A and B are shown apart, each in its own frame.
Chain A
Amino acid sequence: MLEVKKVTKQFSSGSGDVTAVKDISLQIPAGKFASIIGKSGSGKSTLLSLLGALDKPTSGSIEVDGQDITRLGDRALNTYRGKQIGFVFQSYNLVPNLTALENVMLPLEFTRVARRERVGRAKSLLDQVGITGDKQQRKPSRLSGGEQQRVAIARALANQPKVILADEPTGNLDSQTGKMIFDLLHSLARSQNTTIVAVTHDLSIAGKTDMTFTLSDGKLVKQ
């Protein structure tokens, strides 16, 4: 269960304060697929980064299975990001000079999975997302956008997180590839009872998710 309570996020910049997220409260039950839609600048990415503990809200609390993640210390934050959350980004964000396999092994290293286990687990994850054979040894620059996003999904799943946060995961892909990626996320989440929160522009995709939140000017306008 993901529970957002009266969360506000303000950025102070030179030209004054920007309130990116205004007093948002919402709940997403475990294992559900939620989508967030809204115009550019409405605060979708900001909300996602708060859920993933990449940033702290100015006020309000975010509880994951009853634990308030806004109060975690540095060490606990690293563990939370590494073990409970998996991120998928619009621009894939793979480490360019590491192979696909090494990219998937990264989160396993950070959560101190034994060295011997890492390779096996990373390989089977890549197999699951359809990156097989010599493609596992390629660097991101030698993979297509769709393939890179599959590697990113495998990396997000590496530590069997409770929640996957995806910021426009299909934004850089053609609609057919985008649909395949979405289906992949959906089926993997379902099989492992993982909660997914995905930001999207694609209303046809949003329509197929369990619940949809609409943001406008930082406020939650529709659920």
Chain B
Amino acid sequence: MNSLTRGIRNTFRNSIRTVSIVLILGLSIGLSLSMLVARQAVENKISTVKSTIGTSITVSPAGARGFDGGGEPLTQADLDKAKSVAHVTSVSGTLQDRLSSDNTNLQSAIDPGTLGRRFGRSNSGFGAGGQAPNGGTFKLPVMLIGTDDPASAQVLSGSSVKLTSGTLYAAGSSDKVAVIGKELATKNNLSVGSTFTAYASTITVVGIYDAGNTFSNGTVVMPLKTVQTLSSQANAITSAIIKVDSIDTIDGAVNNLKTQLGSKADVVSQKDTATQALAPLQNIKNVSLFSLIGAMVAGAIIILLTMVMIVRERRREIGVLKAIGASNVKIMWQFMAEAVSFTVIGAVLGIAIGLAGGKPITNMLVTNSSNASSAVSQTAGPGQGPVTAQAGGGGLFRRAASNLNLKDVHAVISWHLLLYGFAAAVLIALVGSAVPSLLIAKIRPAEVMRTE
């Protein structure tokens, strides 16, 4: 027997009290842990979003977005200028074009439907490949993207690009090859090694991808140079995605790009889109921090009040211990052991609660703010019509933002986190028992002489 074992034994002296305190402590520790889990999950998501769309800048020819508007295309020389701007880590130019029945044998995988027909009617200039908008046989053209970065989710406006068969072509290639979306492949009975015609040339399919959405899966991706050459638009660029090294340097980079490219380009940072889209997550982060602090303070107060109550209840016993030679320190250790023991049992329960509740609570917090979140991602980015938006540079990002799926937050409960929570609980116990320890020191040993 010593102070430690006496303290631990005292934990179970009053079973009703023990059960209720352990329950309350367990709930407070469990809630703290769940909040820690939620906070960490949301934080990871925020940094992922920041490092993907938050560091992107889109550059398009002034006055043009995809196939809307007009003006002059950018050139390879503009991209080289952009590359030399400080903090820019990569520049990926694309040339977009449309393949219609007069220059390809491909059939669009997308049914025009009401939206497509509306589009065809309002853009009479594009009627080249289609027939009368209301004629009933109207067909959408096939989207063609010339890029050196065929695997990029942003270029393809997909959440992720998976190659389902074949390979990608190399950057800088000028071969007559293409990687095509799986729905386009199905529609035209194409597989790796098959060929189709575009701009009167024979193009070989080298890969088929799945970008996770119908529009992107109906697209043809070819090397930038090949598209420039075949479509007689040498050096032309219709949009570029520029990456900077971090979200902190993006504003400076945007300004420098504007100066470098002058009035011929529209430079749009995606920082605001990212920040706006992330606002609900930032809120969750704050809410979880406050809840975490609240739950921990509540736990500390519970253990503090409990220990004050127990010390008062055992005044006489403390007096007896002092009268038979126990030092204050020894008695304090005994009560601290009791407090820590309460907390450890509470922490075991709390960890169980945290393990069971961490993910559901994270999901609940994220889902509850999802309305706000999706509203933001729908209005984010330069506004575009429903079809052209996906083709235009700004539209790519808009899709990228919504494709990041802000609801898709992964709660991970690591051992690291559990240990951290456990250590915090023990710390709460020590702090919570420090004040009662001072009360112990003040109890006069002569107290025992007083008859009850």
If A55-B444, A93-B316 touch, whether A81 touches B324 (CB-CB below 8 Å) is: yes
Residues of B within 8 A of A97 (CB): 9-10, 13
Is the CB–CB distance between B321 and A87 below 8 Å?
no
B436-452 CB mask vs A (1 if < 8 Å, else 0) is 00000000111011111
Partner of B1, one of A54, A89, A90, A102: A102
> What size tier do the contact residues of chain A reach?
20 to 34
Residue B327 is within 8 A (CB to CB) of chain A in the complex = yes
Q: Which of B316, B328, B448 has the most CB of A within 10 A?
A: B448
Residue B121 is within 8 A (CB to CB) of chain A in the complex = no
- Roughly how many angstroms separate A52 CA and B446 CA in the complex, as a whole number? 9
CB-nearest residue of chain A to B444: A55
Residues of A within 8 A of B444 (CB): 54-55
Residue B330 is within 8 A (CB to CB) of chain A in the complex = yes
Residue B320 is within 8 A (CB to CB) of chain A in the complex = yes
Which A residues from 81 to 105 make CB contacts under 8 A with B? 81-83, 87, 89-91, 93, 95-98, 102, 105
Is the CB–CB distance between B2 and A109 below 8 Å?
yes
- Roughly how many angstroms separate A97 CA and B451 CA in the complex, as a whole number? 20
Q: A52 to chain B: closest CB distance in Å?
A: 7
Is the CB–CB distance between B446 and A54 below 8 Å?
yes
Is the CB–CB distance between A54 and B2 below 8 Å?
no
CB-nearest residue of chain A to B323: A87
Which A residues from 48 to 105 make CB contacts under 8 A with B? 48-49, 52, 54-55, 74-75, 78-79, 81-83, 87, 89-91, 93, 95-98, 102, 105
Partner of A107, one of B2, B316, B324, B330: B324
Chain B binding surface SS class? helix
Is the CB–CB distance between A91 and B451 below 8 Å?
yes
- Roughly how many angstroms separate A96 CA and B330 CA in the complex, as a whole number? 19
Partner of A106, one of B9, B321, B445, B450: B321
- Roughly how many angstroms separate A49 CA and B323 CA in the complex, as a whole number? 9
- Roughly how many angstroms separate A195 CA and B179 CA in the complex, as a whole number? 105
Residues of A within 8 A of B135 (CB): none
CB-nearest residue of chain B to A90: B451
Is the CB–CB distance between B445 and A81 below 8 Å?
yes
CB-nearest residue of chain A to B316: A93
Q: B198 to chain A: closest CB distance in Å?
A: 89
Partner of B323, one of A46, A52, A111, A159: A52
- Roughly how many angstroms separate A83 CA and B452 CA in the complex, as a whole number? 27
If A95-B317, A97-B9, A97-B13 touch, whether A87 touches B446 (CB-CB below 8 Å) is: no
Residue A110 is within 8 A (CB to CB) of chain B in the complex = yes
- Roughly how many angstroms separate A87 CA and B326 CA in the complex, as a whole number? 13
Residue B322 is within 8 A (CB to CB) of chain A in the complex = yes
Residue A155 is within 8 A (CB to CB) of chain B in the complex = yes
Q: A102 to chain B: closest CB distance in Å?
A: 6
Residues of B within 8 A of A52 (CB): 323
Residue B325 is within 8 A (CB to CB) of chain A in the complex = yes
Is the CB–CB distance between A95 and B320 below 8 Å?
yes
Is the CB–CB distance between B10 and A79 below 8 Å?
no
Partner of B325, one of A89, A102, A111: A111
Q: B228 to chain A: closest CB distance in Å?
A: 88
Is the CB–CB distance between A87 and B324 below 8 Å?
yes
Is the CB–CB distance between A54 and B325 below 8 Å?
no
Q: B28 to chain A: closest CB distance in Å?
A: 27
Partner of A78, one of B327, B448, B449: B327
If A49-B446, A110-B330 touch, whether A81 touches B452 (CB-CB below 8 Å) is: no
Residues of B within 8 A of A209 (CB): none
Residue A193 is within 8 A (CB to CB) of chain B in the complex = no
Residues of B within 8 A of A49 (CB): 445-446, 449
Residue A160 is within 8 A (CB to CB) of chain B in the complex = no
Is the CB–CB distance between B452 and A105 below 8 Å?
no
- Roughly how many angstroms separate A81 CA and B328 CA in the complex, as a whole number? 13
- Roughly how many angstroms separate A46 CA and B449 CA in the complex, as a whole number? 8
CB-nearest residue of chain A to B14: A97
Which A residues from 11 to 66 make CB contacts under 8 A with B? 45-46, 48-49, 52, 54-55
Is the CB–CB distance between A55 and B317 below 8 Å?
no
Residue A147 is within 8 A (CB to CB) of chain B in the complex = no
Residues of A within 8 A of B316 (CB): 93
Ranked 3 nearest A-B pairs via Cβ: A82-B325, A110-B325, A54-B446
- Identify 25 residue pairs between A and B in the complex whose beta-carbon atoms are under 8 Å apart, listed by A's number: A45-B449, A45-B450, A55-B444, A55-B446, A75-B327, A78-B325, A78-B327, A81-B325, A82-B325, A83-B325, A87-B323, A87-B324, A87-B448, A93-B317, A93-B320, A96-B317, A98-B1, A105-B1, A106-B324, A107-B325, A110-B321, A110-B324, A110-B327, A111-B325, A155-B324
